[in-house]
Amino acid sequence: MRTLASGLSGGEVAGLIVAVFWGVLVCFIGYVLVKLGKVVGETGKLVAGVTDQTVPLLGEVTTSVVHINTELERVDAITANVQTASANVSALTSVFAATLGSPVIKVAAFSYGVRRALGERREDEVKRRVKREMKAEKRGKKA
């Protein structure tokens, strides 16, 4: 075996380079594993935090959905009541129209006929009076 002073052979230099390379590689892999361990630890903390905050939030969402469903049931009941009231008003209107509508229409038609007949009678009287006055005027002019 030779000493360092006398020089190293090519195989020994290559072996030394490979040994240094493997040493650097092991150190790099160790560094990466330490960093990866920290990342995994932080990720675990993040997941735990999200879980701690999500569980109560899901409970609140469930409570809100239950309250909303209760309110929707009330709105459905109100809608059904409004629909029933609307149907009742429609039926009442139909009964009113059937009961009072026909006589009211007859009274209106009769009163219209009476007004028209009186209007025509007055019109005939006015025409007769105008004719008499015109005849009287003509007689007065001839005389």
Distance CA 14, CA 27 (A): 20
Distance CA 98, CA 92 (A): 10
Distance CA 12, CA 8 (A): 6
What is the CA angle 22-23-28, rounded to 5? 95
pLDDT (0 to 100) of residue 115: 80
pLDDT (0 to 100) of residue 29: 96
**Amino acid code (one letter) for 3:** T
Contacts of 32 (CB under 8 A, 6+ apart): none
pLDDT (0 to 100) of residue 135: 86
DSSP the chain: ---TTT---HHHHHHHHHHHHHHHHHHHHHHHHHHHHHHHHHHHHHHHHHHHHHHHHHHHHHHHHHHHHHHHHHHHHHHHHHHHHHHHHHHHHHHHIIIIIHHHHHHHHHHHHHHHHHHHHHHHHHHHHHHHHHHHHHHHHH-
pLDDT (0 to 100) of residue 32: 96
Distance CA 114, CA 122 (A): 12
pLDDT (0 to 100) of residue 101: 64
pLDDT (0 to 100) of residue 4: 52
Per-residue pLDDT of the chain in tens (143 residues, 90 and over written 9):
454 545 678 888 999 999 999 999 999 999 999 999 999 999 999 988 888 888 888 888 899 999 999 999 999 889 988 899 888 888 888 877 777 666 767 777 778 888 887 777 788 888 888 888 888 888 888 76
